[in-house]
Amino acid sequence: MNREQKAQVIQDVAGALRESSAVFAVDYRGISVAQAAALRTTLRGTDATFTVVKNTLAELAAGEVGADGLKPLLKGPTAMTFVRGDAAAAAKALRDFRRSTQNTLLEFKGGWMDGQALSPEDVDAIAQLPSKEVLVGRLVGMIASPLSGLVTALNNLPAGLARQLQQIADQGLLGGAAAPASTDSSTEE
């Protein structure tokens, strides 16, 4: 790789780092070309890319964008997953791949998200989070629940008032005096 090609790789990686909401670093030792292709296809569905970059070039790119927390992770064979979509979905895809190989491939090294370095445990915790869509659905449900209860209560107010008025009317207390009691005073002549 000549100097111009290296400069282009650094710019590409720096651009990917800027555009990513999260970056996960994994040890890719032992992964076959077919497995890597299958993983790339899976990650594409989560709007993430799986890329192997020479560590020295990745370090230079990380330094260029201020992601210095990634530099310690760039030791040994390292592949980077650049996530532009749902970080939890991408981390799950990596974790599920690792599980499918009996945890022998793709060991989490750590990552970078929201300007903070992530430990391998952090990446694993992100993988256990529900997807963004599920979290949004739960939030909408939490917001809607009290509102639907309020709507139900407001809808029940007129019906409840009508029932109370009917009970009062049945007791004869509505409209002033109570209805006279009927007396049976018939006399025979």
Locate the domains of the chain by residue range: 3-129, 131-174
- What does each C-alpha distance from 178 to 161, 167, 182 come to in angstroms? 21, 14, 12
To 5 degrees, how large is the angle CA 11–CA 115–CA 71? 55
Phi, psi (rounded to 5 degrees) for 61 = -65, -40
The reported pLDDT for the residue numbered 189 is 45
Closest C-alpha among 34, 59, 61, 39 to residue 50: 39
Neighbours of 63 (CB within 10 A): 14
Rg (CA), the chain: 34
Neighbours of 135 (CB within 10 A): 13
Per-residue pLDDT of the chain (189 residues; tens, 9 = 90+): 889 999 999 999 999 999 999 999 999 888 889 999 999 999 998 899 999 989 999 999 999 998 888 999 999 999 999 999 889 999 999 999 988 887 778 889 999 998 888 999 999 888 888 777 777 887 787 777 776 777 777 777 777 777 887 888 888 765 555 555 555 555 544
Strands (E), 33-115: 48-52, 79-83, 107-113
Strands (E), the chain: 22-27, 48-52, 79-83, 107-113, 116-118
d(CA 96, CA 161): 57
CATH number of the domain at 3-129, please? 3.30.70.1730
